[in-house]
């Protein structure tokens, strides 16, 4: 009858346990890798986005909203671009985040804002211009890869064009009746440059939010403006009086001639 050494039995059990544990560890690692693989191969594109799938860095395809499959990370990657949203850049001021239900607050007193907003007009006056540029990304591939730092490029073009347009006009014109014309000209010229650079951007609107004299000369400007308004009011009152009195005088003259 065979005999068993207790030490041999213990060693055999230890080897079996080690083998079983090794298989479990290997299975766990394989399962984790499979989960990572599956997790990195599916992605979701939101309704307002377009997905750009790159394979080894080169653009492979574009995809619309929904759930999509791609090869694992390291082979294919995806970048999401908000093509259905109207994006906005602010110049000369910044919108401050507020809680839900509160009014939007603006900050315009920082030095960085003034460096952008202060402009020289054609008659060598300085004015403070705050404006916005709204745009859509109509070609996400061009937006991502034709130019570097697309957003900063848009800002640089907007500032350069606005300064040129304002610099070709009288300060009083930009401050009063010429604001719409300035906005229109800036938008048209900006779009030409953006299209020439193939940025994939389509402008929606350019709007001057606020145009004022610098704070240092604002009191003097207000006095001049009030004087102009007083002059216009006096002229209008005189014209109204003339419109009343002249027909009346003509009627009396006609009646006198008729009676004579």
- pLDDT by residue (tens digit) across 121-148? 999 989 999 999 999 999 999 999 999 8
Asked whether residue 117 falls in the same domain as residue 189, the answer is yes
Asked whether residue 136 falls in the same domain as residue 201, the answer is yes
pLDDT category at 22 given cuts 50, 70, 90 is: low
Residue 255 falls inside a structural domain: no
Domain boundary (49, 81, 113) is at 81
pLDDT category at 225 given cuts 50, 70, 90 is: low
pLDDT category at 11 given cuts 50, 70, 90 is: low
Count the domains in the chain.
3
Residue range of the domain that includes 205: 87-216
Least confident range from 18-22, 66-70, 77-81, 205-209: namely 18-22
Cα 249 from Cα 88, distance rounded (Å)? 60
pLDDT of residue 103: 46
Give the angle subtended at the CA of 225 by the CAs of 221 and 231, to the nearest 5°. 150
Residue entry with tokens 């499979």? 34
Asked whether residue 122 falls in the same domain as residue 208, the answer is yes
Domain boundary (31, 61, 81) is at 81
User: Please, what is the average pLDDT of the chain?
Assistant: 82
Residue 230 predicted with pLDDT over 70: yes
- pTM, rounded to two decimals: 0.70
Candidates 186, 185, 182; CA nearest to 174 is 182
The CA radius of gyration of the chain, in Å to the nearest whole number, is 36
Residue 5 predicted with pLDDT over 80: no
């Amino acid at each position: 009858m065979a005999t068993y050494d207790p030490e041999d039995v213990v060693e055999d059990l230890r080897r079996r346990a080690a083998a079983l544990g090794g298989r479990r560890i290997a299975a766990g690692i394989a399962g984790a890798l499979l989960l990572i693989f599956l997790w990195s191969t599916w992605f979701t594109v939101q309704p307002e986005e377009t997905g750009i799938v790159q394979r080894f860095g080169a653009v492979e395809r574009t995809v619309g909203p929904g759930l999509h499959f791609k090869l694992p990370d390291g082979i294919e990657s995806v970048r999401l671009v908000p093509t259905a949203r109207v994006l906005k850049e602010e110049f000369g001021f910044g919108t401050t985040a507020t809680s839900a239900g509160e009014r939007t607050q603006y900050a315009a007193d920082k030095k960085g804002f003034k460096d952008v907003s202060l402009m020289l007009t054609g008659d060598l006056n300085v004015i403070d211009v705050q404006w916005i540029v709204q745009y859509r990304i109509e070609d996400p591939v061009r937006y991502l890869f034709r130019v570097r730092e697309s957003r900063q490029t848009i800002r640089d073009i907007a500032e350069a064009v606005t300064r040129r347009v304002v610099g070709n006009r009288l300060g009083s014109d930009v401050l009063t009746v010429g604001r719409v014309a300035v906005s229109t000209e800036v938008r048209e010229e900006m779009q030409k440059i953006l299209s020439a650079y193939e940025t994939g951007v389509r402008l929606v609107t350019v709007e001057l939010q606020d145009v004022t004299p610098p704070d240092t000369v604002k009191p003097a400007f207000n006095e001049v403006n009030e004087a102009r308004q007083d002059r216009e009011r006096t002229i209008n009152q005189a014209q109204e009086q003339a419109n009343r009195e002249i027909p009346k005088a003509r009627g009396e003259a006609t009646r006198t001639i008729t009676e004579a």
